[in-house]
């Protein structure tokens, strides 16, 4: 066998490899732009993220990743259900919001607890029962269904229980990107870290009854029993908090167009929700959430169903396009212009969520429509036809 010199080896390892890649993976896009295509064998991945694998020519710069999938997040399983989270650790750009996807089996209980952060929630599936106590010591007990919201301010203790035959599922949103679901204040955890003599004195009882306290790891989310008899008795006697911790989103504050609907909830309608505002957006096939930006805070998105893509403009010549499907999370940093397009055959349904007490957006169309025409024309070299088609009335879905 003929020996290969070091020089020959290096040539084969560099130039030869480059020639191989050039020949095999150089492709022509429809617009005749030549690009190098990596040998990706995961066809489903290509189908899910066509604009990330083969981005449009309008993409430019080094805008960081603005997408993460709950399907790629770690799942914590318990006897009463499961939970997974997307925080700043999973999506580095997510400074203002963290999200938790949780499922409770029938009777499953997310144990009594509280957070330093505010908790906002959207019911995705089934039926759940929430309880809370307000700062006046008054109880709130409510059964919530698909599309309903709840909100617990920081420090307010609460619980959640699954009621449906096959359980329930919901999205939890917290007003801090560094939130960690496993750093909450748990009832069982606190009891295990209080001296027994202090427990006995505090609750005016014998020390012996505290000898079999459960491990916090066995609670957290655990199997439980549903007792409607006691529930309905309590609800008549104790549901007297003046605070409304739940809200029926689909019954209020709707913007309706021929191509979709938007339901908005912020402190002006869901009064207790002081830290988080949101909009549920429904886009029909082929429609877009118009070119716009938000002047109040970063936007955190959760895609409920359908498929779509989002184009984001970050100024200074930077722009990037992302593809989304059910259970994906998207993020748009403060004030960045963007659009969302339904690219599938079914409705695209997603949530826009903000660490803010009010919902607001600026429409590019409306802004140009109310700007003196001669200014717009001089900026963009556009004729009167463009000016005449501008709309002074905001139309968020086109």
Same-domain check for residues 103 and 14: no
Please check the confidence at residue 237 and state whether its pLDDT lies above 70.
Answer: no
Q: Which of 47-61, 81-95, 284-298 has the lowest mean pLDDT?
A: 47-61
Distance of CA 347 to the CA centre of its chain: 18
Query: Any binding-site annotation on 294?
Result: yes
Q: Note whether residue 216 is domain-resident.
A: yes
Residue 158 annotated as lining a ligand binding site: yes
Residues 231 and 258 in one domain: no
Spell out the residues 6+ positions from residue 385 whose beta carbon is closer than 8 angstroms to its own.
none
Domain count, the chain: 3
The answer to the question of residue 203 being in a domain is yes
> Does 29 share its domain with 88?
no
**Among 217, 247, 277, where does a domain finish?**
247
- At 35, is the pLDDT very low, low, confident or very high (cuts 50, 70, 90)? very low
In a domain, 157, yes or no: yes
CA separation, residue 183 to residues 114, 161, 220 (Å): 10, 20, 11
Mean pLDDT, residues 174-192: 94
- Whether residue 54 is contained in a domain is answered as no
Q: How confident is the model at residue 251 (pLDDT cuts 50, 70, 90)?
A: confident
Domain-located, residue 48: no
| Residues 239, 121 share a domain | yes
Mark whether 352 is an active-site residue: yes
The pLDDT of residue 9 is 42
Residue 313 lies in a domain: yes
74 marked among binding-site residues? no
**Catalytic residue chosen out of the listed positions 111, 169, 290, 352:** 352
Query: Where is the domain boundary, 247, 279, 297?
Result: 247
Specify whether 214 is located in the same domain as 90: yes
Q: Is 367 within a domain? A: yes
Range of the domain at 201: 73-247
Please check whether residues 147 and 214 belong to one and the same domain: yes
Domain boundary, last residue among 188, 221, 247: 247
């Amino acid at each position: 066998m003929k020996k290969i010199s070091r020089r020959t080896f290096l040539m084969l390892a560099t130039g030869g490899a480059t020639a191989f890649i050039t020949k095999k993976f150089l492709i022509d896009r429809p617009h005749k732009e030549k690009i190098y295509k990596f040998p990706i064998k995961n066809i489903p991945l290509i189908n899910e993220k066509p604009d990330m694998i083969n981005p449009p020519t309008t993409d430019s710069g080094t805008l960081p990743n603005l997408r993460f999938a709950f399907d790629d997040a770690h799942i914590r399983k318990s006897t009463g259900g499961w939970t997974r989270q997307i925080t700043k650790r999973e999506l580095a750009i997510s400074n203002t919001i963290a999200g938790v996807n949780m499922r409770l089996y029938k009777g499953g209980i997310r144990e009594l607890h509280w957070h330093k952060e505010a908790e906002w929630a959207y019911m995705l599936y089934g039926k759940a029962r929430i309880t809370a106590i307000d700062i006046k010591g008054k109880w709130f007990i409510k059964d919530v269904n698909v599309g309903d919201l709840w909100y617990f301010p920081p420090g307010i203790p609460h619980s959640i229980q699954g009621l449906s035959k096959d359980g329930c599922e919901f999205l939890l949103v917290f007003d801090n990107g560094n939130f960690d679901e496993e750093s909450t204040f748990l009832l069982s955890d606190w009891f295990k870290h209080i001296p027994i003599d202090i427990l006995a004195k505090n609750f005016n009882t014998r020390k012996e009854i505290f000898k079999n306290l459960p491990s916090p790891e066995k609670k957290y989310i655990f199997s439980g029993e549903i007792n409607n008899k006691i529930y309905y008795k309590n609800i008549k006697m104790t549901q007297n908090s003046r605070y409304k911790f739940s809200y029926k989103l689909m019954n209020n504050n709707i913007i309706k167009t021929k191509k979709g609907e938007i339901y908005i909830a912020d402190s002006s309608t869901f009064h207790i929700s002081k830290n988080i505002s949101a909009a549920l957006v429904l886009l029909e096939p082929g429609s877009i959430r118009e070119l716009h930006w938000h002047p109040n805070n970063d936007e955190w998105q959760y895609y409920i169903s359908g498929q779509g893509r989002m184009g984001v403009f970050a100024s200074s010549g930077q722009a990037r396009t992302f593809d989304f499907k059910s259970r994906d999370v998207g993020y748009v940093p403060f004030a960045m212009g963007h659009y969302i397009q339904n690219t599938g055959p079914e409705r695209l349904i997603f949530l826009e969520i903000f660490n803010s007490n009010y919902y607001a957006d600026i429409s590019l169309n409306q802004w140009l429509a109310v700007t003196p025409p001669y200014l717009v024309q001089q900026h963009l070299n556009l004729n009167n036809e463009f000016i005449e088609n501008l709309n002074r009335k905001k139309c968020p879905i086109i």
